[in-house]
Amino acid sequence: MSEGRKKRSESLKAAYGTLYTEVSRLLREADPIRLIVIGAPDDEYDPEISTILPRLREAKSPGDVQQMVHEEFVHWFGAETAGPAAHYAGVSDDIWEALNKLLAR
């Protein structure tokens, strides 16, 4: 991990705390574009997390989260690699659930 990327990650972890950790885990486990399974590092999706987290405050439903997550993957990887939005439904539902659990505290 580059020094700049490491600092950005640490800053986001401080700002978002448990939500950062949970979204990171969920994306890593879902591995929507199959990078982790082919040996990418566990922090492979950290740049995407850095652009997803600030947008989550605008989400009003799991569908909103799905749209946001898909848009960010398209931004970072291109439409062909990101694939269809439907591939992000499961992880987006999980992110929505995690977000709501944290907000309920």
Residue from 68, 81, 71 nearest 38 by CA: 81
Model pTM? 0.90
Q: Cα–Cα distance between 51 and 58 in angstroms, integer?
A: 13
Q: Cα–Cα distance between 94 and 85 in angstroms, integer?
A: 15
The two tokens of residue 71 are 């848009």
Domain, as residue range, for 21: 3-104
pLDDT digits (tens, 9 = 90+) for 71-80: 999 999 999 9
Total tally of structural domains belonging to the chain: 1
pLDDT digits (tens, 9 = 90+) for 1-47: 567 667 777 877 888 889 999 999 999 999 999 999 999 999 999 99
